[in-house]
Chains A and B, each alone.
Chain A
């Protein structure tokens, strides 16, 4: 029988059985086959949707190749971001330095594609070989007259969260570049927000923006779903930052609060309660009876439309069990609630990068016997899923075969997804996705489930 590694014991917790604080926010255990990526990945996924920017990965080819087209983020404008550009560092540059190649690459790409700004991602070896990336960026920026922002995302310099931070710092440098004084909340007619941590997967940003517009809120900028460099430049004109996917973007919200005095709130757009709350919280912030009235109308109308549509799915799914393993815990919170709406109980929930408070909250909202885990791996996850007899695993592509191999349903809730799962219509899509997998007739051939049936019959 497989045993959890000693170094990881306290990162796994069973509610009702264990009594300790879950260890978290530590580097992955060597040899544990973590599902995490690296600092570079954190930066790359956050900045990727900035559509009219040049994204140049400075390093050997792998980092750029593996992140080509990796996200399902859509753009209503430029498609430049869909390309994967790399300086494709070879042995020669490792020995003599990569600055000249970076300089040449930036020049040729800017001339060919006319980006509105450029991000230069530093990968593992760039710091080691001593390239002065900042200097090269400054030089080309001067020559070409565009913003070129180095992103210090060397893979080994922390975990994915540190990459988010590097991305936030990069974005922050672009804010306020329109040269206009920020507007403030004192101006009564201006009801504008920024959305942070929403990446327009399968067009989700458009759904969310539409809700806010319908209640009378203007969206200045979305970080970074369907965004442009110009959008980001004017983000300081908003009166409120609305942060979803808090793991990636709270840092930017804090910096913007400090520099521009823009307050922020945390929201989630997944599930009925959280989506409604995300609208009400913004409405409340503006103390405007018109906005509040329109919010109530919108939520009532959407929920009234949605609930009857959800009912048949819920009837089929009632009593099923789910396991959740996602990047950030905020999504996990919403999923636990959204699943409950579908009559599904969460029996395993974990994330790559939760913090102490996150796990405390997960303990509160989950039932007895639920396994909560931090920075888990395939051996653990597969054991938990089987032990708790989950009918469904929610995760990303890396988790998918863990479920399918043993004949368990799976829902992709990661950044590759091609189905919009945010907002009220997203909740319906989510129900359809979960229903399609959990109630598929193919599972009658699942060997693992044959055993479960035998267990149940005894």
Chain B
């Protein structure tokens, strides 16, 4: 595998970034908590840009408040603005929970939000108040994915029940990743099938994908209940989807340290191997075998692999997105004989290259071909690297559209964001059914491209 060439980015600048800033991830995770509104401590623009970015993907209202820095705030500190924002948000939205995400601006001027919060909460007039938690998310550190996990960490630290005589139960904690609303619904189905109490955090499956409203909902229904987060300390185990995490600053680690709850980190359940491992862990934690319904789904997926394997055999893909997503997708592609000629992520991390290599067994053994593994990269660099690679299709968000247009290949949309289609937030990726969905999308995109390119076409194959 030749990836050394790409270990150092050729450009110091980011050209068409393949990542977003950490307050975005933090806010989205916060909206997965019941009755929670997010508040960005910084300029108005941060909240508005993040809302706009999210609205284009989810096509749902996403109200994010801002403490609205002005020049004087940057000089004298954000305390007063934060207090006013908390007052106003509480008055207008009557939230159960307010999640605060910091920004590059508030962090650079050295605002100590935790200290402000202690002061705010100790003021008697703020007695009847929502739960307030704070995630430190300066956008110069990490990506939206880091912000996402940091917000989960902050929420758990703040809200989990901490008294010493918590009775352990058979509850399962499932901490999700930055996945689609349909993925979260699939995780609910899986957890429900084991018939044990569980906490699925975060859960924006309703808040970011609800039905119609008779009048505007200040905070949409749904989300992980506060009581569910509190009860996480009584669980038999925590299952964390994803491994691109700070090893000592994540919610599962926190609970293992403080409440001795075993923590298991698994790759996203995309592909049969990953999904099997996910179920194995669940079986172990619950002490129950995998319910039949999933065995049938698994078998149906394998049947589909058999039916479709030739349409994707040996095809070459450009794969990009967030680290955990790309790693899981690479493992899935390896199962179906697709070669990711590029596996790319915008985040800088040493684990990415190793994890991609570990996920690729078939390609290394049989196909003797190489994947360009690119971390800390961007779409311009991906394009420049892709020029000679004769890719057949690309897999990832809408932001790869120009890449595929230039190369004249199909884009199979998945991940985040899907800004140029409707329903992009409802794409199912996880579990056996999610894998089936992705497999069919890939085969059909390749079949369509071949059919359209054929001189006279055909109507059956």
Contact = CB atoms under 8 A, between A and B. Distances in A.
Interface string B94-136: 0000000001110011000000000000000000000000000
Contact of B17 (A84, A108, A383): A84
B91 A28 contact: no
B446 interface: no
A405 B51 CA distance: 16
Interface string A430-458: 00000000000000011110010000000
Nearest to B73: A156
Number of contact residues on A: which range applies? 35 or more
Contact of B13 (A5, A85, A91, A159): A85
Contacts of B56: 397
Contacts of B46: 38, 62, 155
A446 B12 contact: no
Interface string A100-126: 010011001100100000000001110
A398 B17 contact: no
B358 interface: no
A36 B64 CA distance: 12
Contacts of B44: 28, 34, 36-38, 155, 159
B68 A29 contact: yes
Contacts of A67: 49
Contact of B105 (A35, A37, A155, A448): A155
Given A88-B17, A406-B216, A37 B45 contact: yes
B278 interface: no
Interface stretch (A53-61, A193-201, A317-325, A364-372): A53-61
A30 B85 contact: yes
Contact of B21 (A61, A84, A397): A61
Interface residues of B, number: 73
A39 B139 CA distance: 18
A3 B90 CA distance: 12
A85 B14 contact: yes
A33 interface: yes
B213 interface: yes
Contact of A405 (B60, B68, B402): B60
Interface in B30-50: 39, 42-50
B45 A41 contact: yes
Given A40-B45, A68-B399, A128 B105 contact: yes
B87 interface: yes
A447 B217 CA distance: 13
9 contacts: A29-B88, A32-B65, A62-B24, A87-B12, A94-B140, A398-B51, A401-B62, A402-B216, A406-B215
Closest 9 CB pairs of A and B: A38-B45, A62-B21, A31-B88, A382-B216, A31-B85, A105-B13, A155-B43, A66-B49, A30-B85
Interface of A: 2-3, 5, 7, 27-41, 56, 59-68, 82-91, 93-94, 101, 104-105, 108-109, 112, 123-125, 128-129, 155-159, 378-379, 382-383, 386, 397-398, 400-402, 404-407, 445-448, 451
